[in-house]
Amino acid sequence: MTRNAANDADMFSFFPLENPTHLIFCIENSRPDDGSNVSIQAIHKETGQVTDVLFGMDRCDGIRTTPWGTVLATEETDDGAAYELLNPLSGKVYFVMDRGVPGGPAIIVDYQGNDASDGVVKRTALGTLAWEGLTVLSSGVVYYGDELRPGTDRDDVDGGALFKFVPDVPRVDDGIIFDLEHSPFASGRNYAFRADCREGEPASLLVGEGQSGSFPQFGQGCEIGNGSWVPVSAANARVDADANGATGYYRPEDLHRDPVFQAPEDFPGAVRFCWANTGRVEAQNFAEVICGVDLQPLMADGDRATVVVNRFVEGDSEFNSMDNLAFQPVTGNLYVIEDAANGDVWACLRDGADRGIKTDGCVRVLSVKDQSAEPTGFEFDASGTTAFLAIQHSDPDVLGDTDDIIKITGFKVTGKNGKDDD
């Protein structure tokens, strides 16, 4: 599609959601003192034209178009924040002059140096941490992870937790907004996931009746199964998660909602989401994909197990370093991208009608041959037949200081849930 995306083009989102014309990219480079680094670019789907949108974020990585028509872009750094853009195709160029303190506002201006808070705002109600994967529900609920290794800074410190943001005023309509003050990200509460090793309502309804009198019970070794959400502050989400017993994982990376999940009758608002824990192949931690079902997205109660998580893919010596994810529309198959030189893209089937709860199998479908490059952002369009892939870190001596965005066509989605193409 283009060979002129900025160096370190990573995750992206289609914009607008209906009949998208552009891919909105996060550029994951570090911010210099003067904030002159490009952080968000818009790339036209048909022409490949690249337009700079925003400068001055620090390692922009996770990015999503919201159901109300804005873009949420986030930073993968220890004091990473979330920024909401009203319209990345307005033709305006924005600059983060001062990122501010964790949990505090940023100074953002337009090309003329005027205040640009009507076009871009730092969302201080959302957590401060190393953002990467996230998904946004129509209500304004956000699931997101903290890209943190276990044992960072000192021994026996938990890895990155999984978080949920619940807006104070959930959205109840499906229209777009024209003022950032109307976004549900304006205020809300944050929670961290804590896997519990005892039964707790209402998640126990999925596996049997009753609730253990000793719920909650948690600690190391309790990483999967049912769990609850414990409160954390936005400015100190990582520290609070560790202090409140949240479950830690090895570098939670990309995260997506399952588009074909069928909610149980008793919980019609339930959602399924999956995320990658990238692990460390040199230590023979080959990574994993974990999927969770949250029965009540707008609820967060440490005394009730509203969510169940289990491993969906476990890595090995061939398939590891899992980073980016993408669900294929129609089939619901999950594509998993490796964060490695010579990285591969794997397609994983859904769990079929058997006693297992993991994928029914994964196959390698794409490989990157250039040792100086790796695959990163990967997304399907709404048809499920076309995907876009970012190739990052190409050797600048050969290709210049840019990255490649590839368009891939010909994916099949025929048959009931795609099963004719399994």
Q: Which residue is it, tokens 């006693």? A: 355
Is residue 349 in a domain? yes
Q: What is the pLDDT of residues 89-115, one digit of tens each?
A: 999 999 999 999 999 999 999 999 999
* pTM more than 0.75: yes
Report pLDDT for 212. 62
CA dist 59 and 77 (Å) reads: 7
CA-to-CA separations, 28 to 57, 108, 280, 326, 377, in angstroms, rounded: 9, 19, 21, 19, 11
Helix or strand run (H / E) with residue 86? none
Report pLDDT for 218. 86
Report pLDDT for 397. 59
Q: Give the max Cα distance, the chain.
A: 64
Helix or strand run (H / E) with residue 241? helix 237-243
Is residue 420 in a domain? no
Report pLDDT for 54. 98
Range of the domain at 121: 2-409
- Output phi, psi for 127, to 5 deg: -65, 155
| Structure tokens that stand for 74 in this block | 């986030």
Mean pLDDT of the chain: 93
Q: Which residues of 286-306 are buried (b: 16+ CB within 10 A; e: fewer)?
A: bbbbbbbbbbbbebbebebbb
Report pLDDT for 120. 98
Q: Is the pLDDT of residue 131 over 60?
A: yes
| 134-148, 204-218, 395-409, range with greatest mean pLDDT | 134-148
Q: Is the pLDDT of residue 421 over 70?
A: no
Is residue 132 in a domain? yes
For the sheet with 82-85, list strands across it.
Answer: 60-65, 71-75, 82-85, 120-122
In this structure, how many other beta carbons lie within 10 angstroms of the beta carbon of residue 260?
15
Report pLDDT for 207. 52
Q: Is the pLDDT of residue 209 over 60?
A: no
| Structure tokens that stand for 260 in this block | 């074909």
Is residue 246 in a domain? yes
Helix or strand run (H / E) with residue 228? strand 225-232
Sign for the CA dihedral angle at 120, 379, 332, 206 comes to negative
Is residue 421 in a domain? no
Report pLDDT for 200. 75
Q: Is the pLDDT of residue 386 over 60?
A: yes
Q: Is the pLDDT of residue 83 over 90?
A: yes
Q: What is the pLDDT of residues 253-299, one digit of tens each?
A: 999 999 999 999 989 999 999 999 999 999 999 999 999 999 999 99
Determine if the peptide bond prior to 216 is cis (ω within 30°). yes
Report pLDDT for 217. 80
In 244-343, DSSP assigns E strands to 252-257, 271-277, 288-294, 307-314, 322-327, 334-338
Is residue 258 in a domain? yes
Report, as an integer, the average pLDDT of 124-143.
Answer: 98
**Length of the chain counted residue by residue:** 422
Least confident of 402-406, 408-412, 416-420: 416-420
Whether the CB-CB separation of 139 and 170 falls below 8 Å is answered with: yes
Report pLDDT for 323. 97
Report pLDDT for 204. 47
Is residue 419 in a domain? no
Share of the chain above pLDDT 70, in %: 94
Overall number of domains in the chain: 1
CATH, residue 322: 2.120.10.30
Assign 418 a pLDDT band (cuts: 50, 70, 90).
very low
Is residue 334 in a domain? yes
Indicate the SS3 state at residue 308: strand
- Output phi, psi for 68, to 5 deg: -100, 15
- Nearest Cα to Cα of residue 54 among 64, 45, 42: 42
Q: What is the pLDDT of residues 149-164, one digit of tens each?
A: 999 988 988 999 999 9
Q: What is the pLDDT of residues 287-334, one digit of tens each?
A: 999 999 999 999 988 778 899 999 999 999 999 999 999 999 999 999
